[in-house]
Amino acid sequence: MRGESQIQFKEFVEEDIEGIIINMKHLLLTTIAAVLLVGCGPSVDIYEAAWSGNIEAVKQHLAAGTDVNAKMEDGDTPLDWAIEINRTETADLLRKHNIAIIL
């Protein structure tokens, strides 16, 4: 009987290990996909992105949770910079995100 129990235990452990490996592979692939989708983050800060009208960088900052209301030493926000240089699309995006935060 002891030999049969050992075989059953070994089969149980092997099945459990296979399940763990499958879960780890899934987690690894999901993590890699998330990194590829999001990227490593924006290459410029949100102020520079707003000033230059780099809408993709602004979107990356928004997706990463950057504080769009953060103020520079002079009190300006990224939205202020976008408005100042007449970056309408960037300003609209920042306004929409700002409203979503307030609501």
Q: Tell me: the pLDDT tens digits for 64-89?
A: 888 888 898 899 999 999 999 999 99
Average pLDDT score over residue span 23-30: 87
Average pLDDT score over residue span 90-97: 92
Q: How many CB atoms sit inside 10 A of residue 102's CB? A: 7
Burial class (CB in 10 A: 0-12, 13-18, 19+), 7: exposed
Predicted confidence (pLDDT) at residue 57 exceeds the cutoff of 50: yes
Predicted confidence (pLDDT) at residue 31 exceeds the cutoff of 60: yes
* Spatial contact of 70 and 77, defined as CB atoms under 8 Å apart: yes
Q: Global pTM?
A: 0.56
Cα distance between residue 42 and residue 61, in whole Å: 6
Confidence of residue 101 (pLDDT cuts 50, 70, 90): low
Cα distance between residue 93 and residue 99, in whole Å: 10
Confidence of residue 40 (pLDDT cuts 50, 70, 90): low
Residue 55's contacts (CB-CB under 8 Å, 6 or more residues apart) are: 49, 89, 90, 93
Predicted confidence (pLDDT) at residue 100 exceeds the cutoff of 70: no
HSE-up of 58 (CA within 13 Å, CB side)? Answer: 28
